[in-house]
Chains A and B, each alone.
Chain A
Amino acid sequence: MSAAATHHDQAHDHADEHGHAHVPTYLETLRANRLGLWLFCISEVFLFVALIVVRFALWGNTRPELDQALGLATTSVLLISSYFMVRAEVAIAHGDRDKFLNSLLVTFVLGVLFLVGVVGFEWGLFGITFGDHELLKPTDGAFGAVFFGMTGIHALHVVSGLFLILMVYINGRRGGYSTERHWGVEACAIYWHYVDVVWVFFYPILYLIGTPVH
């Protein structure tokens, strides 16, 4: 982080007493941060793959009846949000702050829409159905458990992604990022795309693969 500058000065003051502190430059810190984030992403792969394995172990070649239109809509919303996230990152790299902030805001709104679709409608929080099938309940054996488990874990990641976007937005409005130094934006974008890619796997696995059982 840019805290490195302050760290550097202090380290020099204490050099004799405290020994030699290697003070990382911004680029070195960036490299460490990137590595760390990607390792975190790899780590999370194991969580999502575990969930996918559970789905195939328990559902096999079947799946519950789900609202296909809603599934397609939420998936599209999330994919489009990723486009705006890219737009935001490109914008800050070119120093276009307004475009950056606007794109971020659109990403945020689309993310919230995704949550409304999955948690609000598909989970039945609003109690509204569009199709002729009944809503799945969490207690519906393996169908309920896996569906609510997978969408729940994914929704938790979306919520944390939204929190990150909000944070970046607030800091961005204050002018916290520059063309050269915007690791916060990059990290947020990587995370958001990651969450998006996970859904790209979850969507067919939950909605498309297997024969529906009524």
Chain B
Amino acid sequence: MRQLRILFSLGIVWALIGQAAGAAAGLFLVRAIRAAANLPPSAEAELVIAAMFSVFGSLLFSGVLTDWLKWCVGIETPLRHGDPDGLPAWTRYFSVDYNHKVIGIQYGVTSIIVLLVGGILAIIFRLELSWPGEQFLTPESYNTIFSAHGIIMIASILLGVGAMVNYLVPMMIGASDMAFPRLNAFSYWIAIPSAILIMAGMVIGDGWETGWVGYPPLSTIDGSPLGTQLFILGFYFNGFSSIAGAINLLVTVMIMRAKGMSLWRMPIFVWAAIATSLIQFTATQTVGAAQLMVTTQRVLKLGFFDPTFSNGLGWPAGDPILYQHLFWFYSHPVVYVFVLPGLGIISELLPVYSRKPLFGYKWVALSSLGIALVGFLVWAHHMFTSGMADVLRIPFMLATLLVAIPTGVKFFSWVGTIWGGKVTFETPMLFVLGAISVFLIGGLTGPILGTIPTDLHLHDSYWVVGHFHATMFGGFVFPFFAAIYYWYPKITGHMYNERLGKIHFWLMTPGFWLMSLGQMQVGIWGMRRRIYDYDPALGIEFTHALITLSALIIGWSVLIMIYNLITSSRTERVAAINPWGSRSPEWQVPSPLPEFNYYRPFEVVGEPYDYGVPGSVYVRDVPAAGD
């Protein structure tokens, strides 16, 4: 009985019920209206309205809107915080909670779960590609699975970025929470139904086959599977999460920094979070517009991207390439949303394990902003072979190459940080080094795609697949894992298992090198992207088998990490307050942190990374006037 009561107190359970109820309500509503108006039933319209209602139902039932709805009718609501009354403490992690650390953990755990789903999909289609010929998938199911792998991994990365930014930024700047705690919870709770929509797209309505980019006309043409629509709406609603989260973060950093924390004294990760949020709260709107246009084209036949229209009066038709511009105006900068926080983690952790200041703090900070800003001017390099106007190709090629410069600053600064230090190699540091090595591969294989003549060969080949997997792993996955291991003692109060952590690293890193370098090799030899089967005459069978093998190794190594994280909080020793000897404020107080992060407000009195200066401190408690 009690178990049942606890189960039905959980926000996540209600979110799922609400999503189902919303979907049913939407479906019923459309059927009823169309029946009343004597219209034929339309699966497409039913699906769109059901999906929209399902998101709203999920939000409503989970309880994340409750406070706002009360405000609408003039009821004031105190900000709820602390453990829930009459329920076990763990239940707050499964319900709407306004504490940024709880939300951070919710983001993180969801990210890893979604990562596993995406990883399983990857392994399924990697097995299909191990040998030429048809294995066990149909071409259509292959298309659905690789498309879902792409977008689900992106959802996972966005959740992971949300986890790091939410958990770390308020803690690092000495705030007790984010500026808008309810909006913060909203950002998380809308990501859940949108992720579910995307996954539902795989099973409802024959999946979809457009890849994660969803280019029209393939995504809008008559007879394209209904799953496409669910994927597009899931993508769209996930944008709300990005925009709300980014605005929240920017306001938090602008007004809630501790006393004395000037911009140049912020931990470097905060700079990365700012750069990330600047991209997220602006560019996301354009891809939202694009997805809405695709939806209206599918449902209401608005011909934004339909080139076939003609009424004999010379009225203009739509343009499929326009979608690509709108899409990449977001989707290129968003790549920097994925990697900038990770690069921030690298810059944050290297000084701690090298016992030396971050080399060129201001340059590293500005390089994040530089990457973010240049990132807005390079989107069309995804379209060098698309048939867009020739005059556009050249400026975009030059702008694209410029990205190399701030990225280079980061690499050289990392080397400069290590030189002259006293380096140790705990698991987080290993992952930081792994990240640098992998991101180096990803970064160096970029300029060859940036110069158009060479891109004409490599575009839409597996070279691109290898390149972006290296940037994603080096810029996000490795640093994310480093961050998890690094802050694990702060989050749980226990140490992780160092041996398992090292096994994880030594499986995953060589596995990844093999996978990524192999993908680039088959690409340069002529392997096209997004194909279900390949011509054995290309001579790429052996490499493909190796890629599949390394994907399996990576998969197993992540399982080891998850086992480590789950068991260590019970079996491993209690961690010291500051096991890494960090200068950052969160490590100066016992773990785990209290509800409002610090027992006393602190003020910043030194530089964040002044390792090697005896007696210098970064923060100290503000002397209380009353005490």
Q: Mark B382-404, 1 if CB is under 8 A from A, else 0.
A: 00000000000000000000000
The answer to whether A2 touches B303, judged by C-beta atoms less than 8 angstroms apart, is no
- In the bound complex, what is the Cα–Cα distance between A214 and B314 (angstroms)? 9
Please give, as numbers and ranges, the residues of chain B lying within 8 Å of A19 by CB-CB distance: 176, 593-599
Please give, as numbers and ranges, the residues of chain B lying within 8 Å of A7 by CB-CB distance: 78-79
A141-B317 CB under 8 A given contacts A36-B248, A39-B247, A47-B286: yes
Q: B90 in the interface, Cβ–Cβ < 8 Å? A: no
Interface of chain B residues 19 through 73 with chain A (CB within 8 A): 71-73
Interface stretch (choices A55-63, A73-81, A108-116) = A55-63
- Which chain B residue lies CB-closest to A147? B302
Interface of chain B residues 559 through 606 with chain A (CB within 8 A): 593-601
Interface of chain A residues 1 through 23 with chain B (CB within 8 A): 1-3, 6-7, 10-11, 14, 16-22
Q: A145 in the interface, Cβ–Cβ < 8 Å? A: yes
Please give, as numbers and ranges, the residues of chain B lying within 8 Å of A28 by CB-CB distance: 255
Please give, as numbers and ranges, the residues of chain B lying within 8 Å of A47 by CB-CB distance: 285-286, 288-289
Please give, as numbers and ranges, the residues of chain A lying within 8 Å of B177 by CB-CB distance: 21
Q: B445 in the interface, Cβ–Cβ < 8 Å? A: no
Q: Mark A144-159, 1 if CB is under 8 A from B, else 0.
A: 1110110011000000
Please tell me which one of the listed residues B82, B282, B315 contacts residue A141 in the complex, with CB atoms under 8 A apart. Answer: B315
Q: A98 in the interface, Cβ–Cβ < 8 Å? A: no
Please tell me which one of the listed residues B73, B303, B310 contacts residue A170 in the complex, with CB atoms under 8 A apart. Answer: B73
The answer to whether A51 touches B315, judged by C-beta atoms less than 8 angstroms apart, is no
Please give, as numbers and ranges, the residues of chain A lying within 8 Å of B525 by CB-CB distance: none
Shortest distance in angstroms between A118's beta carbon and chain B's nearest beta carbon? 16
- In the bound complex, what is the Cα–Cα distance between A16 and B289 (angstroms)? 48
The answer to whether A142 touches B78, judged by C-beta atoms less than 8 angstroms apart, is no
Please give, as numbers and ranges, the residues of chain A lying within 8 Å of B81 by CB-CB distance: 10, 18
- Which chain B residue lies CB-closest to A58? B316
The answer to whether B303 touches A139, judged by C-beta atoms less than 8 angstroms apart, is yes
Please tell me which one of the listed residues A20, A31, A51, A146 contacts residue B255 in the complex, with CB atoms under 8 A apart. Answer: A31
Q: Mark A126-164, 1 if CB is under 8 A from B, else 0.
A: 000000000000111111111011001100000000000
The answer to whether A32 touches B179, judged by C-beta atoms less than 8 angstroms apart, is yes
Please tell me which one of the listed residues B79, B254, B289, B293 contacts residue A35 in the complex, with CB atoms under 8 A apart. Answer: B254
Please give, as numbers and ranges, the residues of chain A lying within 8 Å of B595 by CB-CB distance: 14, 17-19, 21
Interface of B is mostly: loop
The count of chain B contact residues (Cβ–Cβ below 8 Å) is 66
Please give, as numbers and ranges, the residues of chain A lying within 8 Å of B270 by CB-CB distance: none
The answer to whether B78 touches A6, judged by C-beta atoms less than 8 angstroms apart, is yes
A146-B304 CB under 8 A given contacts A1-B71, A32-B180, A141-B317: yes
Please give, as numbers and ranges, the residues of chain A lying within 8 Å of B255 by CB-CB distance: 28, 31-32, 35
Please tell me which one of the listed residues B175, B247, B284 contacts residue A36 in the complex, with CB atoms under 8 A apart. Answer: B247
- Which chain A residue lies CB-closest to B287? A50
The answer to whether A46 touches B82, judged by C-beta atoms less than 8 angstroms apart, is no
Q: A125 in the interface, Cβ–Cβ < 8 Å? A: no
Please give, as numbers and ranges, the residues of chain B lying within 8 Å of A60 by CB-CB distance: 316
Q: Mark B442-486, 1 if CB is under 8 A from A, else 0.
A: 000000000000000000000000000000000000000000000
The answer to whether A21 touches B313, judged by C-beta atoms less than 8 angstroms apart, is no
Please give, as numbers and ranges, the residues of chain B lying within 8 Å of A68 by CB-CB distance: none
- Which chain A residue lies CB-closest to B322? A57
Please give, as numbers and ranges, the residues of chain A lying within 8 Å of B218 by CB-CB distance: none
- In the bound complex, what is the Cα–Cα distance between A141 and B301 (angstroms)? 9
- Which chain A residue lies CB-closest to B248? A36
Please give, as numbers and ranges, the residues of chain B lying within 8 Å of A176 by CB-CB distance: 74
- Which chain A residue lies CB-closest to B305? A145
Q: B250 in the interface, Cβ–Cβ < 8 Å? A: yes
- In the bound complex, what is the Cα–Cα distance between A17 and B599 (angstroms)? 9
- In the bound complex, what is the Cα–Cα distance between A67 and B311 (angstroms)? 21
- In the bound complex, what is the Cα–Cα distance between A167 and B70 (angstroms)? 11
Please give, as numbers and ranges, the residues of chain B lying within 8 Å of A213 by CB-CB distance: 313-315
Q: A42 in the interface, Cβ–Cβ < 8 Å? A: yes
- In the bound complex, what is the Cα–Cα distance between A44 and B247 (angstroms)? 12
Please tell me which one of the listed residues A3, A50, A144 contacts residue B285 in the complex, with CB atoms under 8 A apart. Answer: A50
- In the bound complex, what is the Cα–Cα distance between A21 and B599 (angstroms)? 8
Please give, as numbers and ranges, the residues of chain A lying within 8 Å of B76 by CB-CB distance: 1-3, 6
The answer to whether A32 touches B304, judged by C-beta atoms less than 8 angstroms apart, is no
Please give, as numbers and ranges, the residues of chain A lying within 8 Å of B311 by CB-CB distance: 140-141
- Which chain A residue lies CB-closest to B71? A1
- Which chain B residue lies CB-closest to A37? B247
Q: B263 in the interface, Cβ–Cβ < 8 Å? A: no
- In the bound complex, what is the Cα–Cα distance between A140 and B316 (angstroms)? 9
The answer to whether B594 touches A17, judged by C-beta atoms less than 8 angstroms apart, is yes
The answer to whether B251 touches A32, judged by C-beta atoms less than 8 angstroms apart, is yes
A138-B247 CB under 8 A given contacts A32-B179, A176-B74, A213-B315: no
Interface of chain A residues 139 through 198 with chain B (CB within 8 A): 139-146, 148-149, 152-153, 167, 170-171, 174, 176
- In the bound complex, what is the Cα–Cα distance between A54 and B290 (angstroms)? 10
- Which chain B residue lies CB-closest to A23? B176
Please give, as numbers and ranges, the residues of chain B lying within 8 Å of A51 by CB-CB distance: 289
Shortest distance in angstroms between A62's beta carbon and chain B's nearest beta carbon? 7
The answer to whether A22 touches B282, judged by C-beta atoms less than 8 angstroms apart, is no
- In the bound complex, what is the Cα–Cα distance between A167 and B303 (angstroms)? 37
- In the bound complex, what is the Cα–Cα distance between A45 and B77 (angstroms)? 32
A3-B77 CB under 8 A given contacts A36-B247, A149-B293, A214-B313: yes
Please give, as numbers and ranges, the residues of chain A lying within 8 Å of B286 by CB-CB distance: 46-47, 50
- In the bound complex, what is the Cα–Cα distance between A51 and B286 (angstroms)? 8
- Which chain B residue lies CB-closest to A214? B313
The answer to whether B282 touches A42, judged by C-beta atoms less than 8 angstroms apart, is yes
Please tell me which one of the listed residues B290, B322, B597 contacts residue A58 in the complex, with CB atoms under 8 A apart. Answer: B322
A64-B250 CB under 8 A given contacts A2-B76, A18-B81, A148-B302: no
- In the bound complex, what is the Cα–Cα distance between A22 and B170 (angstroms)? 12
Interface centre among B175, B250, B285, B319 (most CB of A within 10 A): B285
Shortest distance in angstroms between A204's beta carbon and chain B's nearest beta carbon? 19
A143-B79 CB under 8 A given contacts A14-B595, A28-B255: no
- In the bound complex, what is the Cα–Cα distance between A10 and B296 (angstroms)? 48
- Which chain A residue lies CB-closest to B321? A57
A22-B281 CB under 8 A given contacts A54-B304, A145-B318: no
The answer to whether A39 touches B315, judged by C-beta atoms less than 8 angstroms apart, is no
- In the bound complex, what is the Cα–Cα distance between A60 and B292 (angstroms)? 22
Shortest distance in angstroms between B292's beta carbon and chain A's nearest beta carbon? 8
Please give, as numbers and ranges, the residues of chain B lying within 8 Å of A40 by CB-CB distance: 243, 247
Please give, as numbers and ranges, the residues of chain A lying within 8 Å of B71 by CB-CB distance: 1
Shortest distance in angstroms between B331's beta carbon and chain A's nearest beta carbon? 13
The answer to whether A43 touches B282, judged by C-beta atoms less than 8 angstroms apart, is yes
- In the bound complex, what is the Cα–Cα distance between A188 and B78 (angstroms)? 22
A-B pairs with beta carbons under 8 Å apart, 16 shown? A10-B78, A21-B596, A28-B255, A32-B255, A39-B250, A40-B243, A42-B282, A50-B286, A54-B304, A139-B300, A140-B303, A142-B309, A142-B315, A143-B316, A145-B318, A149-B296
The 5 closest A-B pairs by CB, nearest first: A19-B594, A18-B595, A141-B309, A46-B285, A145-B302
Q: Could you tell me which A residues sit within 8 Å of B by CB distance? A: 1-3, 6-7, 10-11, 14, 16-22, 28, 31-32, 35-36, 39-40, 42-47, 50-51, 53-54, 57-60, 62, 64, 138-146, 148-149, 152-153, 167, 170-171, 174, 176, 213-214
Q: Could you tell me which B residues sit within 8 Å of A by CB distance? A: 71-74, 76-79, 81-82, 175-177, 179-180, 183, 243, 247-248, 250-251, 254-256, 281-286, 288-290, 292-293, 296-297, 300-304, 306, 309-311, 313-319, 322, 325-326, 329, 593-601
- Taking A36-B183, A43-B285, A46-B283 as known contacts, 5 extra A-B pairs with beta carbons closer than 8 A to each other, sorted by chain A number, are A3-B79, A21-B595, A53-B325, A140-B311, A140-B315
